Amino acid sequence: IKAGDRSVLLEDIHFKKIEEGLRQLADAFEKDESILEPLENILTVVFSTSGAGNYIRGKGLLKL
Any idea where the domains of the chain sit in the sequence? 35-64
Sequence-separated (6 or more) residues with CB below 8 Å from residue 18: 42, 45, 46
Inter-residue contact 48 to 62 (CB < 8 Å): yes
Inter-residue contact 49 to 64 (CB < 8 Å): no
36-59 pLDDT tens trace: 999 999 999 999 999 899 999 999
CA 63 to chain centre: 10
pLDDT value at 14 more than 70: yes
Output the DSSP codes for 33-44: ---HHHHHHHHH
* The model's pTM: 0.81
